[in-house]
Amino acid sequence: MKNLFVLFVLVFLTIFFTHFKSYGGEIFIDELNGTTYGNAFGITYVETPNGKGALFRKEKESRIQFELDTFIPREGTIELVMNIELGYNYSNYVLSESTTGAPIFNTYGPDVFWPGGSLLAVYSNGDIIFSTITNKYDSDNRHVTKASGTDFKFNEWHSVGISYGSQGQYIMLDGQLVASEPNNNLQLDVGGDHSSQTGIPTIGEYASVFWENNQNEGGFEGIIDRLRVSDIQKDWFLSHSQDSTAINEREALIELFNQTNGNSWNNNNYWLGDPGTECTWYGIICDDSNYVKAIHLFNNNLNGTIPNSIKNLKHLQSLLLHGNLLIGSIPKEILQIETLESITLNDNNFSNNIISLMNQTIQDELNKPKKIDIKDAIYALQVVSGQYNIVNEPLITNTLGMTFTLIPSGTFIMGSPENEIGHESDEKQYTVTISKPFYIQTTEVTQEQWVSVMENNPSYFSSCGNNCPVENISWDDIQTFLSKLNAMGDGHYSLPTEAQWEYAARAGSTTSLPNGELIETGCAIDPQLSNIAWYCGNSESKTHPVAQKQPNAWGLYDIPGNVWEWCQDWYDNYPSTSVIDPVGPLSGSQRVIRDCGYDSNAVYCRSANRVRNYPDVKSKFFGIRLLKEL
């Protein structure tokens, strides 16, 4: 009997650790498809594009609570796939509905804050905040990790992950690290009353009794589709998975099929199966992972605007519009799809309100069967949406071999948020509108191009070769170069303004780098930066031929990296209000320099980083990238 008992214990422990420690530090993945590992109150399980999920509603006092240490570790990783509709916030004894912010997860107790008490909250402006109390009884004293202005939105599917403990606090959104605070290193704990800790880690409420007993201290309404917990920090899984992408793709397709023609698609386009589970739609082509890679719209009456949610088709490679009556327009948001390779406009009939924005030459050109690559797509979308009605080639090369790409007009946030790694006080964010498109050089000016104009090579690294960036030049030297170049009659060239430079460098990104978030600050290899830039971590203390690294989303190379680049502006602090086409102050003592160089620490390669120097200073670190006027 004793042997049987021992065997039973061994079997139980084997099953327990196999299930709850299946790989890495994973404790469990809760599918929330009808049951949960926690204690559920007022939860309804509903169909989602990913199967089922837990629906949270105020009138049902919905919440799921998990035991600390058993299911929620004091140090580790928590990830959720969620679609949040709205939040409820409690202030001055009043519970009010909020479409701007929602508390998601917390470990606070009934009325006393204890060190380690935590809160995860999301906001409609894209902010995500994870905070941890540092002092007992003091709700104002806490470690706060904040991701500002992310792509998080209410009524969309997102995967959000938090990591906490001795290694610091981190926030992940849809596979991207959006915030990190290595010094916020408290372990998670719970709150309670004045004599004991009685709080419970909870999803769906602010403090562990807020719906219960009608105390109403805040929470959210929406769906949690999956939950994963690990006792290892930065053990990301759901945050790196494509769950939220797949869900948003399916919903984008449904909206596309329903919105663009008022539910009256031509029979040439229809879906054959359940759009939530199968890729069996006529006119839709998927890859091996069932992500949409091509949409072919034939002979449809598109009597509405193609919805902005098309940007959620993050694997889309091709959009073909053939024989359609286009009454609405194609949203520019489609250009946020990094995988997009072509847009084909073939024999379409544009309605009068679009034709009026284009001259007959453009109309004839767009009606020809032709494949448009991503650069042409920028031009085509601007034409269709009526931004301008003159023909501008998306990519041009002058007689000196300088290649320029067309940058569309637009609005962006210039500078960096205060929580960005390496943020400086002169990077205070403000809104900038670039009102007109412009051409900017795809590479830095090479030594060969400089010699062709100036008949001398000032470069310190002249042995690097003709295709290496020219350097060891001052702002004043560049004015002489521009004067001679413009006299050649091949167009008018200048330096970009600081705003034009950052707008082109970001290429629609809002992260610290054009291709993601910076992790390293010194000369260690940064996984994002090393792919696009020559800096102190990989340059071997010298410049390199241009265009050897990956370009940004608008096709610009060595931005950042290789050499610093002079701008047109005098240096000064940014204005405090929105500005259209800023050109900097009218006078000053130092000119702005942007980018970073082969010798730079990683932190100086951020898109928002600013430096300056006197216009007569020459340096082997300073180079040039040209702007060409339309």
Range among 19-23, 58-62, 97-101, 457-461 with highest mean pLDDT value: 457-461
Per-residue DSSP letters for 198-259?
Answer: ----EESBSSTTSSGGG---EEEEEEEEEEEEESSTT--SGGGSSHHHHHHHHHHHHHHHHH
Structural domains in the chain, sorted by start: 24-239 (2.60.120.200), 244-391 (3.80.10.10), 403-628 (3.90.1580.10)
b/e 186-211 (16+ beta carbons within 10 angstroms → b): bebbbbbeeeebebbbbbbbbbbbbb
Residue 402 has pLDDT above 50, yes or no: yes
Residue 562's pLDDT band, with cuts at 50, 70 and 90, is: very high
Weakest-pLDDT range from 98-112, 281-295, 359-373: 359-373
Q: What share of the chain is helix, strand, coil (3-state, %, to 5)?
A: 20, 30, 50
pLDDT tens-digit readout, 477-526: 999 999 999 999 889 999 999 999 999 999 888 999 998 999 999 999 99
Predicted TM-score of the model (pTM): 0.46
In this prediction, residues 271-292 reach a mean pLDDT of 57
Residue 242's pLDDT band, with cuts at 50, 70 and 90, is: very low
| Strand 579-580 with 94-98, pairing | unpaired
Going by the DSSP 8-state scheme, the letter that residue 122 receives in this structure is E
Residue 289's pLDDT band, with cuts at 50, 70 and 90, is: low
Q: Which residue has the tokens 């058993």?
A: 70
The arrangement of strands across the sheet holding 118-123 comes to 39-41, 63-65, 202-203, 101-106, 118-123, 128-135, 138-147
CA distances from 118 to 56, 93, 124, 402, 625 (A): 20, 22, 20, 55, 48
Report the pLDDT value the prediction gives residue 467, as an integer from 0 to 100. 97
Residue 606's pLDDT band, with cuts at 50, 70 and 90, is: very high
